Amino acid sequence: MRRYQFPYIPTPRGRPPMRWTDTQEPTTCRRCNMHWEDGDPALTIACTGCGGPADEPCRRRSGGNERVCACRDEAAVQMELLTRCEGLTWDGRHEKPLLLRERPIAHALMCRSVRTGAPVSRWTS
C-alpha cells in the first residue's frame, strides 16, 4: 500500500502588525510588585542579544518579543540598575510586560514601534 503525500501549498504569511509602546512609562513587576516610575531600568542599556539600542524594546527578526531579553536583564542586574526578583521565580527575573497600543502615543517621550503578533494590551487606557 502506498502512502499518500499531501501536496505542498505555500501559504502567504503577512507581516506581523505594528504595535506601539512607551518605554518610559511606569511599570510594575507582576511577581513581586516592585514599581519603576521612569520605566523599565533594563531598557536604558543596549541589548547584546538582539542588538536593540538603548531606550528601545528588544526585537526579534520574526517579531513577537514584548519583553526584555534575558541578557539585557542580566546586564542591568550586573550594572546594579535592577535587583533580583524576590517573587517565585527560578531565574530571578522581573516580569515587566510592555503595554502595547494600536496607535502611536502622542504625549509619550519615547514612543517606539514593536513588530508583533500580539493583540493590543487590555490594560491600556
User: What is the band of 75 on the pLDDT scale with cuts at 50, 70, 90?
Assistant: very high
Q: pTM score > 0.85 for this model? A: no
Amino acid in the structure at residue 11: T
User: What is the band of 12 on the pLDDT scale with cuts at 50, 70, 90?
Assistant: low
Domain residue ranges in the chain:
26-99
Say what percent of the chain tops pLDDT 90: 18
Residue 41 phi/psi, 5-degree rounding, is -65, -25
- What Rg do the C-alpha atoms of the chain give, in angstroms? 18
User: What is the band of 8 on the pLDDT scale with cuts at 50, 70, 90?
Assistant: confident
Residues 27 and 46: their CA atoms lie apart, in Å, by 19
| Mean pLDDT, rounded, for 61-75 | 76
Neighbours of 34 (CB within 10 A): 16
Would you state the pLDDT for residue 79?
Answer: 94
- Show the CA angle centred on residue 98, arms to residues 44 and 90, nearest 5°: 85
| Mean pLDDT, rounded, for 30-35 | 91
